[in-house]
Structure 1
Amino acid sequence: MGYLRRLLGFDHTHKKRRQFNTVELKVRMDCDGCELKVKNALSNMKGVHSVEINRKQNKVTVTGYIEPRKVLKRVQHTGKRVEMWPYVPYNLVMHPYVVGTYDKRAPPGHVRNVETITAPSSAMKEEEKYTKLFSDDNPNACSIM
Structure 2
Amino acid sequence: MEQNHACEEENEENKNINPEGIIILGVYIHCEGCGNEVVRSIRGYEGVEEIDIDAKNNKVIVKGTKADPAKVAERLRKKSGKHVELISPQPRKELNHVEIKKPEPKVIEVVLKIYLHCEGCAKEVKHCIHKMEGVRSVVPDIEKNMVTVKGSMDPQKLVEFINKRSGKHAEIVKQIINESDNNNIINLQLQGRRDPPDQQLLLYAPQLFSDDNPNSCALL
How does the TM-score come out when normalised to structure 1? 0.50
Give the structure-2-normalised TM-score. 0.34
Q: Which structure's relative contact order is higher, taking Cα pairs within 8 Å and 6+ residues apart?
A: 1
Larger radius of gyration: 2
